[in-house]
Amino acid sequence: MTSAAEQISFADLGVPSILVDALVAMDRPTPFPIQRETLPSTLAGRDVLGRGKTGSGKTLAFAIPLVARLAAKGQRGRAGSPVALILAPTRELATQITRTVEPLAKAAGMAVTTIFGGVSQKPQEAAFARGVDIVVACPGRLEDLMGQGVVRLDRVSITVLDEADHMADLGFLPGVTRILSKTPTDGQRMFFSATLDNGVDKLVKRFLPNPEHIAIDSAESPVAAMTHHLFEISSTELKTDVIKALASGTARRMLFTRTKHQAKKLARQLTAAGIPAVDLHGNLSQNARDRNLADFSSGAVKVLVATDVAARGVHVDGVDLVVHIDPPAEHKAYLHRSGRTARAGAAGDVVTLMVPSQRKDTEILMRRAAIDVKPQHVTANHSAVIALVGEVAERVAPRPGGPGAGNAPAEGSTGGGRSTGANAQRKRAAREGQGAAGGQRHGQGGGRGRGGRGGQGGGQSQGGQRQGAPRGGQSAPTYSTSTGQPAQRPAHGGSAHGGSTGAGNPAPQRRRGPRRASSSF
């Protein structure tokens, strides 16, 4: 039964009709709770300190009033002088915010630009010279441009600070303080943060003297629609097989590692095993990060292997499964990583892998994250693993002439929707021990997923080593784990790019010191 609150529309909340139409076109026809709670205040111009867990819809909660108020007041930017500023801690998050703001801004005839480091600043200088209304920026590059006289903030009437606690974790608060001090004191300010520790409270006291506090959930509460699984594996060899099984399947999944080297290595090895994967971490160039994220967002590649750089900065709907290859170091990281699934009202699964030596620390981690989950001893063929994946038998052990090991798209699938009808089926199968549950998954975006067709997939080229495809099947494309793009296959089985990992990135340095318990994958 639909509650009265859920029947409230954006129009009922005072959102202008041009933005309501834009929201419908964005497939956001009705407001989420954090939007219903904040919009009456933010549309009226009041300062807000908002807290909402990841995936709650807070980007639209500040994007809608920002565009609506600028449009109502007829405020427009001038050369080098924007009228609205959104600060974000990471390049990925800044890019994601821009993608959400742009359709609304376009409907109101406004221009948006994104500012971050790691790329040439010439296009950013050109954007300011033309005149921009709304700036989405990371603090470091914005301060550089301010120091060079490229941009000034004296006409900014609305300022948004997103994920302030993550700004603190990354050491950005001094820069954020300097930036905010350059904006007019009588402007509207909206701050969003999961917690108020590590200096965030001082920032709030200085720049939000009398804000409205709006919290949809407790600061670090888990998502109710998220199902957590804790898998204990007796050896690293068996863990390799479990990782391969969990990475297979038809829906998007994110695998988190502790180090950049692990992420790069795992993406390469999954791809060589017939499961195309891309990596996302700090050693990649910005262009490579953009390409890999675009391939994952579009569904061209279904597996993203990432470090914590992606835990907050990647907002992609339809991620079916998050896997912690090793338990993260602390509970905040667990919650933020896990928040890549079960977004925007959808359901999702989170799996944490551990070996016996990690059990005690992992139990402490789960208690701090308020996650009540019992460990299960599993192998790759355990019913709980199979129920999460479906079609795992065909994908892990391809048969000649049968379905290939490659991550072939499901027949009729668009690659973007998460499986809905299969959710209850596969969870019921896990309880009843039915290994074949979840074999057919129904994506929202298209027809029925029945595994790979006709033995597609399997043939991979990595550093010149060619692995044969199943008889009767076709070779799958080779992906560069640094760019996510199909790589050129060397002639006569020779070396591909001289063993380069792509994108002009240096080879990873050999890790010194004791190894953490991890997979050889």
Residue ranges of domains in the chain, CATH in brackets: 5-215 (3.40.50.300), 228-398+479-499 (3.40.50.300)
Tell me, what's the pLDDT at 224? 53
Taking 90 as the threshold, does the pLDDT of residue 507 lie above it?
Answer: no
* Alpha helices in 348-416, H assignment, sequence order: 359-368, 383-389, 392-396
Tell me, what's the pLDDT at 284? 85
From the CB of residue 242, how many other CB atoms can be counted at a distance below 10 Å? 23
Tell me, what's the pLDDT at 412? 30
- The three-class DSSP label of residue 440 is coil
Q: What is the token pair recorded at 75?
A: 């405020």
From the CB of residue 220, how many other CB atoms can be counted at a distance below 10 Å? 18
Tell me, what's the pLDDT at 391? 39
Tell me, what's the pLDDT at 252? 86
Tell me, what's the pLDDT at 419? 37
What mean pLDDT is predicted for residues 140-152?
Answer: 96
Classify residue 31 by its DSSP letter: -
| CA atoms of 164 and 87, how far apart (whole Å) | 9
Strand partners of residue 324: 256, 352
Tell me, what's the pLDDT at 183? 97
Q: What is the token pair recorded at 281?
A: 């971490």
Q: Which residue has the higher pLDDT, 150 or 386?
A: 150
Tell me, what's the pLDDT at 436? 35
- The three-class DSSP label of residue 504 is coil
pLDDT band at 465 (very low <50, low <70, confident <90, very high): very low
pLDDT, tens only, 270-323 = 999 999 999 988 888 878 888 898 888 888 899 999 988 765 656 677 788 999
What mean pLDDT is predicted for residues 390-409?
Answer: 36
Q: What is the token pair recorded at 392?
A: 């795992």
What mean pLDDT is predicted for residues 58-68?
Answer: 94
Q: Where are the beta strands (DSSP E) in 138-236?
A: 158-161, 188-192, 212-215, 226-232
Positive or negative, the Cα torsion across 196, 199, 200, 201? Answer: positive
Tell me, what's the pLDDT at 401? 35
Q: What is the token pair recorded at 95?
A: 């890019």
DSSP H or E stretch at residue 239: helix 236-247
Taking 70 as the threshold, does the pLDDT of residue 38 lie above it?
Answer: yes
Using alpha carbons only, give the angle 500, 503, 509 rounded to the nearest 5 degrees.
55
Find out whether 454 and 476 touch, Cβ atoms under 8 Å.
Answer: no
pLDDT band at 53 (very low <50, low <70, confident <90, very high): low
Find out whether 158 and 86 touch, Cβ atoms under 8 Å.
Answer: no
Taking 80 as the threshold, does the pLDDT of residue 196 lie above it?
Answer: no
pLDDT band at 388 (very low <50, low <70, confident <90, very high): confident
* β-pairing verdict for 277-280 and 303-306: parallel
| Range name among 20-34, 96-110, 275-289, 385-399 with the lowest pLDDT average | 385-399
Q: Average per-residue pLDDT in the chain? A: 75
